[in-house]
Chains A and B, each alone.
Chain A
Amino acid sequence: MRSEENTISGAQIEVRSLTKHFGPVKAVDALSFTAQPGSFVTLLGPSGSGKTTTLNIIAGFESPTSGEVLLDSKPITLIPTYKRNIGMVFQNYALFPHMTVSQNVAYPLQMRSVQKSLIHERIRDALQMVQLEGFEKRYPRQLSGGQQQRVAIARALVFNPPLLLMDEPLGALDKKLREQMQIEIKHIQNQTGVTVVYVTHDQEEALVMSDKIIILNHGRLQQIGNPREIYDQPQNRFVADFIGETNLFEAKIRHENSRSVVALHELGATLDLPVNRSFAAGKCHVSIRPEMLWLENKAHKRSGIEGRIEELIYIGESTKYIVNVRNKHVVIRHPKRVDRGLFKKGDQVVLWFNIADMVFIDGETP
């Protein structure tokens, strides 16, 4: 282990009002964000949200219609791809099929005219980092998906780039392997200190891996924040709905005397709001996560929001209920610890939640 020599000082990457048009389509629309040196930043969004286009512009495969990309404060938009000194892992790995593992890993070093004796050493270190010693002479087609993934990472990092781009690198792997690789990629990133810009459509993956998540939809920025902020305080309905699972209710806040109340007409409930916070009167939306709700048997509680269990889905570590409240479906998740299998399909139940767990989402952003 020669970790000290392998340490890369990650670069800062800044994207400034980046816009890319494909004909009439705005693939990326005035996107700005900054990734601090050594941080793990994820571009998250559904397909067609512009996340891959953004990555392609950073890599230099596409040129932006307007806007700038700065690497350590230097604009790189006009520098050709091969001079940018950025590492990249592709979705399908893009290993050269006519080269062995060690030839693949040597490739970026040969392009940089690294001495032959040094190349050998660096290949060994890089393969050690991804735990692929002994596979030097194999061809990519002789490796499993996970092993190909490791070669791709070794090849992208062997020349110590300050920035690593990853385009849905785990998309082709099965769930178990994907979770293992997530941890391993984080480990390698911590070890090397490289700045990572990661693209995925998998919100769980984004939550697990990122220091900062940038949520995109239709090329437009929806929200930037760390995983906790993104999950706990979604700023609009798209983010609330896209990240995890949630129940969205139409709500109306009004002031009565010295207190504020919120009317959730879909649930037929009007609730007092805490006095220690101020709320603007008017229409808004309320998001309540399924795991923040719980059920009581109607026989035991006489008041509350009433509904009937329409579906019961046993997931193992939790049980998911779909409850019909005035013809609106509300999703509730009971962790195993509190759910003892007392509820059946068709049961009349009462719905409970803490008022503090309501997330108010203003505006009508689609």
Chain B
Amino acid sequence: MKSRISIPGAQEKPRRSIDPTFYLILPLLVLLIFFMVVPVFRIFALSFFDPDFTIKHYMKFFQAGIYLQILLRTLVISLMVSVCCLIAGYPVSYLMADVSPKTAKILIILVILPLWTGILVRTYAWMVLLGRQGLVNKLLIYLDLVAEPIKLLYTTKAVVLAMVQILLPLMILPLYATMKGIDRDLLKASKILGAGPLRTFWRIFLPLSTPGILAGFTLVFIISIAFFITPALVGGRKDIMIAMLIESQITTLLNWGFAAALSLILMTMTLIIIGLFHKFIGINRFVGSGDT
């Protein structure tokens, strides 16, 4: 209680004390410094010193075409996964934001339920489904759509399909959150001003849902880029993603320096793409609609 008594003059001293709210982020900050910032610098050092300063790992990456190809392939698969997630997730989110709160609750549970199952389990499930003797092939044969079992497993399509299924909730949740926040009166206003349902969607709803699109797309894309288990298990020989390459450099070849270089290249590429994406869509136009 004594601290509440203010003495004139005493307050003139500039306050040096740290804002107490700072302590709330302290645990996370410590965690991030030791398990994120420090390792990143370690990897940075690993890629440039072997043991003296060298750029040979980076030279190797850019000279042998195969590595660039793998990087490109990783980006293409990630992009396909993100686009498919968006196409599949947008209507679901729209529905969730539109139905009664009770139904929405059930739908949300259905969306996040798969998140409680391990990625490995879900990937194995896809192997069972897509194999030569798998359920999908059996069904196709039973329906007389194909004569022989077709190759589904160990293809790029299988990789994309499985990854979309695994990552879809991460697209739906931010989309849903954004759509839920769109003022329904804006849609009413659009209609009374003469716009039909389709034009109301294109001119009002879609632009206002872009922050959600951006968030979901970014989330799915970043996680896709570093995906490892699923492409390794359901992909073909061509479907090597960069995370698999890094893993083999470390566990099989023990080439830590090259693995570190690959990791940094991957991180840089990701940051550049996300940066371009945000600049392109222009998220700043939509944030802070309340106060000036």
Q: Which of A19-27, A89-97, A275-283, A327-335 contacts B (4 or more CB under 8 A)?
A: A89-97
Contact between chains at A141 and B193 (CB < 8 Å): no
User: Which residues A69-118 have CB closer than 8 A to chain B?
Assistant: 80-88, 90-92, 94-98, 107-108, 111-112
A85→B191 CA distance, assembly (Å)? 10
Contact between chains at B189 and A141 (CB < 8 Å): no
Q: Does B208 contact A (CB under 8 A)?
A: yes
Known contacts A90-B185, A97-B208, A98-B286; is-contact A81 B192 (Cβ 8 Å):
yes
Q: A82-B191, A98-B208, A159-B194 are in contact. List 7 more A-B contacts (CB 8 A).
A: A82-B192, A82-B193, A107-B190, A108-B193, A140-B289, A141-B290, A165-B192
Contact between chains at B193 and A111 (CB < 8 Å): yes
Contact between chains at A111 and B192 (CB < 8 Å): no
A81→B207 CA distance, assembly (Å)? 22
A12→B286 CA distance, assembly (Å)? 40
Contact between chains at A82 and B196 (CB < 8 Å): yes
Total A-B Cβ pairs within 8 A? 73
A87→B208 CA distance, assembly (Å)? 23
Known contacts A94-B183, A96-B186, A107-B203; is-contact A141 B291 (Cβ 8 Å):
yes
What 1/0 mask marks residues of chain B from 133 to 176 whose CB sits below 8 Å from any chain A CB?
Answer: 00000000000000000000000000000000000000000000
Residue of B nearest to A112 (CB): B194
Q: Does B88 contact A (CB under 8 A)?
A: no
Hey, which bits of chain B sit against chain A, CB under 8 A?
A: 183, 185-186, 188-196, 199-200, 203-204, 207-208, 285-286, 288-292
Q: Does A59 contact B (CB under 8 A)?
A: yes
Residue of B nearest to A113 (CB): B194
Number of interface residues of A (CB under 8 A): 31
A137 CB to nearest B CB, Å = 13
A196 CB to nearest B CB, Å = 15
Q: Which of A98, A107, A142, A165 touches B193 (beta carbons < 8 Å)?
A: A107
Q: Does A155 contact B (CB under 8 A)?
A: yes
Contact between chains at A94 and B185 (CB < 8 Å): yes
Known contacts A61-B188, A111-B194; is-contact A97 B291 (Cβ 8 Å):
no
Q: Which of B189, B286, B288 has the most CB of A within 10 A?
A: B189
Residues in chain B near residue A84, CB distance under 8 A: 192
A91→B193 CA distance, assembly (Å)? 16
Contact between chains at B192 and A155 (CB < 8 Å): no
Q: Which of A92, A107, A108 touches B185 (beta carbons < 8 Å)?
A: A92
Contact between chains at A94 and B186 (CB < 8 Å): yes
Known contacts A97-B286, A98-B285, A98-B286; is-contact A59 B183 (Cβ 8 Å):
no
11 contacts between A and B (CB under 8 A): A60-B192, A85-B194, A92-B183, A92-B185, A96-B189, A98-B207, A107-B190, A141-B291, A141-B292, A142-B292, A159-B193
A156→B194 CA distance, assembly (Å)? 11
B195 CB to nearest A CB, Å = 5
Hey, which bits of chain A sit against chain B, CB under 8 A?
A: 59-61, 80-88, 90-92, 94-98, 107-108, 111-112, 140-142, 155-156, 159, 165
Contact between chains at B192 and A96 (CB < 8 Å): no
Residues in chain B near residue A142, CB distance under 8 A: 292
Known contacts A94-B185, A98-B286; is-contact A155 B291 (Cβ 8 Å):
no
Residue of B nearest to A84 (CB): B192
A159 CB to nearest B CB, Å = 7
A107→B207 CA distance, assembly (Å)? 15
A264 CB to nearest B CB, Å = 49
A98 CB to nearest B CB, Å = 5
Residue of A nearest to B289 (CB): A97
A156→B190 CA distance, assembly (Å)? 11
Residues in chain B near residue A88, CB distance under 8 A: 188-189, 192
Contact between chains at B192 and A87 (CB < 8 Å): yes
Contact between chains at A81 and B191 (CB < 8 Å): yes
A315 CB to nearest B CB, Å = 35
Residue of A nearest to B185 (CB): A94
Known contacts A97-B208, A97-B289; is-contact A59 B188 (Cβ 8 Å):
yes
Known contacts A94-B183, A98-B207; is-contact A59 B291 (Cβ 8 Å):
no
Residue of B nearest to A91 (CB): B185
Known contacts A96-B204, A111-B199; is-contact A82 B189 (Cβ 8 Å):
no
Residues in chain A near residue B183, CB distance under 8 A: 92, 94
A16 CB to nearest B CB, Å = 22
Contact between chains at A111 and B195 (CB < 8 Å): yes
Contact between chains at B185 and A59 (CB < 8 Å): no
A159→B204 CA distance, assembly (Å)? 19
Residue of B nearest to A90 (CB): B185
Residue of B nearest to A86 (CB): B192
Contact between chains at B189 and A94 (CB < 8 Å): yes
Residues in chain A near residue B285, CB distance under 8 A: 98
Residue of A nearest to B189 (CB): A94
A94→B188 CA distance, assembly (Å)? 9
Q: Which of A82, A83, A88, A95 has the most CB of B within 10 A?
A: A82
B286 CB to nearest A CB, Å = 6
A60→B203 CA distance, assembly (Å)? 20
By Cβ-Cβ distance, the 6 closest A-B pairs, closest first, are: A111-B194, A94-B189, A108-B193, A97-B289, A94-B185, A81-B191
